[in-house]
Structure 1
């Protein structure tokens, strides 16, 4: 029933309450901060891309001007004329692809063993493998070089590939992924006559697909971006990779900055493309691990 008391008891209605305005203000500040941070992070990449279209004189000035006065489109053709980047790309994709396949296979088998099987010394062996993550790359550089040289693999594809076919971090990541698989799944599969290998192949690997793609992504990018090891283990252009090929544009006469930035942009394009394709699985794995933790 309508009365004056009902009107007096009603609270006043505001289109925007103070707490709501405060939340909008905080979100606005966060978005502005992230936008500015994104500009700061992306500026070097934008400068690299636009410098690839500059002349040498314009690229070597102290000014941080972004856009060139005259776009030198021929720089992209000159890079392939001055260095066999087609061969470099072939070597990089071949080496990185084989290393990625080897690391994924080793990590799947080792990760499953440490997650599911029980055997004497399992914890000690796993601790030893994990301890290798604390060994700096530089400390094993010379022993690896001596071993590869004595095997006769200097300046060969096996020399570029063999030392990096196993990775302790990848084993750890897949072991943690396999451990999230419920034990009831294996017990049900065992009742149906499924052994460890069939269970691994048909159930476990599809279950840890996001983690496996994350391992493949990290391994490929680390191998593709490797510079020091390919630099010391190769002696001619026939076996060099793209990262070593970038050194063509720096020498005693100086650095050809415009061509170096052009080559750097070309070299970076495959990694950006691969990350954009695989980022969905990478984020899935990050969220899954975060929720579990």
Structure 2
């Protein structure tokens, strides 16, 4: 099954646009988990078991594992997801952005080593960056377009000679030129709803990953009004810290479930 189809099935079968980012910060784990063997995997497993019926995807951020030499626990997490909840897409957030044989190895890392359903990619070096990932026809390539960080506009909102902002150009060529295999998606931050609305106009029904709700201050109503496609889905609304660390007590998994359910209900209110 392709990434697109898995994602659409979750949107429809579970009535959810919510993605949970699996970004472990062991210093914020409850003491009972932090002191356990393979604490990162134990924490992730508890979050997954508590939220699996409420999400359209999970998104582990690879730096949160690599910095701690915990790639083995990332692999454990992905293996657990595939064995227990195989219908949930896994988005590996690595924001790779190289070319040639290096990009090919990054694609192998994401899709063959980790078995991710999709991966985030930085398009700054053009099609040469995207192609090694896009050739995996059944996997997704999620291209940075207009991100949620405060300084994103310094580059992404610059106007080209044509008068078009750079982020719009990225959206246009991604939809028109790069998506022959129908496996591309875009990243547009929740903190930029006007830009999100413009991207949706350009790309039609293409999936859009939306980080920046919760801790980064994005507004759910503005995001939904700007970003829904003609089928009233098309969004992957990600929350990481706001869900994972809703509680640092032994009730952390129950608190994560509550926050996930709240976000799902909030999103569905505007669909």
TM-score normalised by the chain length of structure 2? 0.21
- Which structure: greater strand fraction? 2
Higher RCO (Cα < 8 Å, 6 or more apart): 1
- Which structure: greater helix fraction? 1
TM-score normalised by the chain length of structure 1? 0.20
